[in-house]
Each structure stands twice: as structure tokens, then as C-alpha cells.
A = this chain, B = another copy of it.
Amino acid sequence: MKRIADSTVRRLSIYLRFLEEFEGRGLATVSSEELARRGGTTSAQVRKDLSFFGSFGKRGLGYSVPELSTALRDILGLGKEWKVVIIGAGKIGAALAQYRGFRQRGFVIMAAYDTNPEKIGRKLEGIEIRDMKRFEDDVAEQKPEIAVLAIPPDEAQSSLDRIARAGIRAVLNFAPVQLHATGDMTVKTVNMAMELEGLTFALTNKDGN
């Protein structure tokens, strides 16, 4: 398959959210203009984004809401349950363990891992905190597909290498540091400061400022 840009995938996630909202309101069809307006983009961009994956919608009739939302869930890989492990049972790990949005989407958190003996064996929002020493054995047995990295920046790269060696190919990184991934691994870094920069840009560039 052609390489799809991250920004395209991001827009697919956004379109899916609007489609699900439309489903909830009982709407049967939606136009590319409506999707574009809600997603802050152009209808040409909506059509282009969807064209990578097949032929959707009918000229003049728009898209079928249930058909397009099912297709987008399939494209995004949301038709199945995904097993997720959290590395680091600190504040960020705890926040993620209780995050309601994950279970809604079929993400199942298997365990959290830590090296701190005081934390090991305790529960984090109902999720067991396990000894990092057991990580490789657990991965071999349970085959989680995604690891969430919630540890300090100076330990993030070595943890990423360890996750890679254990065979997990997708990592969501919360450490504010750029990580180097090997060949077939996908690493996404969530940078909270960068999210705030979207706001400071808006505040700085508003009329009258």
C-alpha cells in the first residue's frame, strides 16, 4: 500500500468521530462538505483522503453514514481488540490506566510495568503493576501489540530498545524526548507542550493582540 501521511490518518480519526456523532443523531448520509467543515479542512481534501482506500459515496448523494463509519473503523484497525501494556506506573501511567476513552475504542490494558519494588504487586486503577523483570516473558506469552511509554525522558530510549527486542512493534511515547525507532517499529510521541503551542499560537496571532 502507498505510504499514507500521519496527517491523513489523523483526519480519518476525526471524520470517524463526526460520523459516529451523526449516527447517534440518526442521520443516514453526510456530504464531503459537512465532513470538511467539521474537520477544518476542504471537501477536496476529504475526498482525496478517502480515495486512498476505495470508492465511497455517490455524487450528489454524499456518503452513507453507517457504511463510511464501518469502513473507517476497518481502515483504522478498530474492528478488533488491541492489547496494550503501560511501561511506568507513575502519574502519567495512572492517568492512562483510568482513561475512559481507551476501553470505548477496544483498547484493553493488560498490565503496567515498573521497577520500583514498592509499586510492584499493587493495582493501578484495577490494573496490576508487574515487575519489569517479567516484561519479556509476559510479552512472549500474552502478545500485547502496543506499549505505552510513561517514564522519565532519560530512560525512554533504553526502554524503547527493550520493547523492540521483546517484539512489540507499536509504541505511544509520553516522554518529552525524540526517540529513535528501529526498522519496522512505529513510534508516536505525544507532546503535551506541543499541544499547548497550538493555543499560544492562537492567542498570539488573534486580532488585537
Contact = CB atoms under 8 A, between A and B. Distances in A.
B196 A172 contact: yes
A118 interface: no
Interface in A156-188: 169-172, 176, 178, 184, 186, 188
A95 interface: yes
Contacts of A169: 203, 206
A6 interface: yes
Oligomeric state, in copies = 2
Contact of A99 (B40, B171, B192): B192
A50 to B, nearest CB: 14
A201 B76 contact: yes
A191 interface: yes
A198 interface: yes
A181 to B, nearest CB: 11
A48 to B, nearest CB: 14
Contacts of A190: 190, 192, 195
A72 to B, nearest CB: 10
Interface of A: 1, 4-7, 9-10, 12-14, 17, 21, 40-41, 75-78, 82, 84, 91-92, 94-102, 104-105, 107, 125, 145-146, 152-153, 169-172, 176, 178, 184, 186, 188, 190-206
